[in-house]
A and B are shown apart, each in its own frame.
Chain A
Amino acid sequence: MVAILGKKLGISFSLVITIMIGSILIGFISMNNVEKSLKFVAKDQMDAAISTLEMRINRSERNFALKNMILFGQDEEILKREDEKFSKYHKKMNKSINEVINSLNSEAFSDTIKNLFEDFYYEVKDNDKAKSIKTIYKNKGSLQAIKELREDRDKTDEKLIKVVSKLKEQSAIETQFAKTKGKNSKFILLFLSIFALFVSSFLAFIIIKDISKSVSYIHQSAIKIHSGELSEEIEVNQKSEFYELAIAFERMRMSLIRAKRLLDRIDR
């Protein structure tokens, strides 16, 4: 049989623990959300901006190689070396684009930004003319090739600046937002913990008072009976082991009174 007192204590302990753990979890979740949004900025958004700029640089390096080929093409050695460079930077450039395209599935980007990016990155990726410009150079000469290269770059450059600045802007806003939110949730967690501390302390106080009241009541009655005061009846309303004790105690008091009366009668 589970003792009633044990049940009472068990329920009060679980109440206290539930209040504490609940408030801590609420605070924890709110801080976790802040961390998540900071991670979006730190990881996805800024990486996309970095990859875009790298793409731009790699494209410039690749085009630089092409120009070197045009400028120093008489030298077989340079031609070969710059051709290698051309392929290397072309690969790097596509890698940067793919990095961004792959990261677009992340929750860090809103739909409008996603559309803007897809428009830009696919255009750079699919309509890149560098390979064909190489043949143009061979067939039509350097002037035409460089002109085409320039046009190709100008076409996407404006969009690129827009994309990068949008990303920078977005991440700056979200960082600021997350920082304020972070401060708030620190307070929320602290407030909730202190609040839970008080509520559970109050709860504990009530339970403790309730239990120790019965104990000290019976204790006081026992002292009274011991000192000869037998007239006071013992009563405990609480439904617990104390109730049984009180009944037994009351029975004992009655038999004590009976014994005393008997003794008094005989004395007389």
Chain B
Amino acid sequence: MKITVSKKLTISFFSIIILLFIASIVSMGQMVNSSKILNRIIEQKTITLLILDIRTNLTDKREALMNIILLGQNDNLFEKYLNTFNKQSTIIENKISNLKSTIKTTSFYKDVIEECNNFSDYYDAEDELMKKTLNTYRAKGKKAASALIKDQLNESGKHLDNAINILKMKSVEDLIKSEKKSSRTFIILLFFFIISIIAAVVISSLVSNRMVSNIVYLTNAANDISLGSMDIPIEARSHDELGKLAEVFESMRREIKGAMHKLRRR
């Protein structure tokens, strides 16, 4: 099939248009990815906050127990802190089940789940100990009770702290990743823009230069013929309409030359 001028132009225009279209699709993909990462960070931090909430309630519960031992001689205060103690226990249990179901629904990190499970194991043991301490306090008083909790109430909190640290590290990593990605998007776009501008300049000057030089060539040839010099053959220099035109010119040149020849002989 013959390549026509319009086909040439169409190909050059569309190669640039398609290039830019690809750029927009690629950059969109990058942006979607980067907001996915940001959404994941938000998810991680939401869970961090959940764990921190539990951690807060845990310290409150422990504090209530301490206050009972320290100030429980006063009946009013005893009642007050016992209330706090029980309230915090229920809150923690609710929040643990909430945390467990949240983690289950999210495609989440192994280490975090493990630490959360460790926490709930240790928490159960600590809860036992706390209740025992309360009973001991009631039966035997401050000294015996405080001996029970000496250095005993830190384990479960440590696991929560670990889980929080893991989550924090992950979100810092993810934040760096998303920042890299968004700056990369910009670079990709810039790259495509520059490439397409260069391509446009090169293609348009290439196409137009070739066409113009062919046209000028044919114009000169036609002028030469009309001025009477018909000895230089006209070549087809491209495979489009202009080339075809050159072929037509050439056979015309030969015809006129023949006619002139005939004329001169007579």
Question: Taking beta carbons and an 8 Å cutoff, which residues of A are in contact with B?
Answer: 3, 5-6, 8-10, 12-14, 16-17, 20-21, 23-25, 27-28, 31-32, 34-35, 38-39, 41-43, 46-47, 49-50, 53-54, 56-57, 60-61, 63-64, 67, 70-72, 78, 142-143, 146, 150, 168, 171, 175, 178-179, 182, 186, 189-190, 192-193, 196-197, 200-201, 204, 207-209, 211-212, 215-216, 218-219, 222-223, 225-226, 241-242, 244-245, 248-249, 251-252, 254-256, 259-260, 262-263, 266
Contacts and interface: CB of A to CB of B under 8 A. Distances in A.
Given A35-B38, A42-B41, A197 B17 contact: yes
B7 to A, nearest CB: 9
Nearest to B9: A208
Contact of A56 (B41, B56, B67, B228): B56
Given A24-B27, A57-B55, A222 B20 contact: no
B243 to A, nearest CB: 10
Nearest to B223: A248
Contacts of A35: 31, 34-35, 38, 178, 182
Interface in B134-155: 146, 150
A6 B204 contact: yes
B19 to A, nearest CB: 9
A190 B115 CA distance: 43
Contacts of A182: 35
A186 B28 contact: yes
Interface residues of B, number: 88
Nearest to B42: A42
Given A10-B205, A245-B222, A20 B17 contact: yes
Contact of B242 (A61, A71, A215, A254): A215
Interface stretch (B95-103, B106-114, B123-131, B247-255): B247-255
Nearest to B143: A71
A245 B218 contact: yes
B211 A260 contact: no
A38 B35 contact: yes
B52 A17 contact: no
A39 B59 CA distance: 31
Nearest to B161: A57
B245 interface: yes
B87 to A, nearest CB: 14
A193 B24 contact: yes
A16 B226 contact: no
B226 to A, nearest CB: 4
Contacts of A6: 204-205, 208-209, 212
A16 B17 contact: yes
A17 B219 contact: no
B59 A57 contact: yes
B16 interface: yes
Contacts of B201: 10, 13
Nearest to A56: B56
Contact of B16 (A13, A32, A222, A248): A13
B17 A179 contact: no
B17 A204 contact: yes
A4 B113 CA distance: 71
B209 A263 contact: no
A145 to B, nearest CB: 9
